[in-house]
Homo-oligomer: A and B are copies of this chain.
């Protein structure tokens, strides 16, 4: 794993690759007491010709900077972030699975690690990256069965829903466990203000399709601006769909022809059913679904099957290590 530290308001100095293991942290740190922490998630892919590549790491770097601004933290620069991700991947290159077998999931963390008793920004920050191989789970499972949550909300305006703050996740675990024990795959949250519009799942964005129009909720502060969401919007537009970022009501969701989710972990994933109170709606999935097409368009770019005309992929130079 990669570890770098920095005093508040100063710059991160050169980090180090160290063996993966527990870290040492002050009991008085804001990450332990006040949730002052951000995380990111991205993947490294091994191509057929044995190159290792990462997907749009600059986007994750920028999102960490936006989050750091919101939580009054000191972030690494864009270059430091990307360089640290590359070093981490290189140090773990034997763990990047062969094509078709999976990817290396990379988890950068920015933690308020310095000691302070009061509710205040930490005097010191730790930037840490660890990685773990993950399987290709699109193939093994079918479409998602979502439950629309009308009890818990994920985010509110003036909160932290629009950044990848640790504070957005433990509050939704209860909802997720309740849904899973009732047989659902995940929860779809509604906006806290009106309870009428859909927002996102616990860790992916959502799209609905009707005719030629693909719609997804806007990133106006309560949903995470997903890198996959942005990339899929662009690909859908490229193949002639009209992509709309706008409020999407539950009613529209229930009347859609197709629904799918996007995220680094799931890539693009069809939603098979949505349950709202007593109503259960079934959507198009399988070969005919737009999500299937978008999934292969994106993974073909990521795996180097087609040329990366967008400049999304960043090669890891094996000689650098």
Contact = CB atoms under 8 A, between A and B. Distances in A.
Contacts of A119: 169, 172-173, 176, 202-203
A192 B290 CA distance: 37
Contacts of A230: none
- Total copies of this chain within the assembly: 2
A32 B166 contact: yes
A240 interface: no
Interface string A86-123: 00000000000000000001010101100001011100
Interface stretch (A16-24, A52-60, A212-220, A270-278): A16-24
Q: How large is the interface on A (under 10, 10 to 19, 20 to 34, 35 or more residues)?
A: 35 or more
A25 B32 CA distance: 11
B174 A71 contact: yes
Contacts of A34: 166, 169-170, 173
Contact of A109 (B33, B112, B156): B33
Interface string A12-47: 000000001011111110111111110100000000
Contacts of A80: none
B167 A36 contact: no
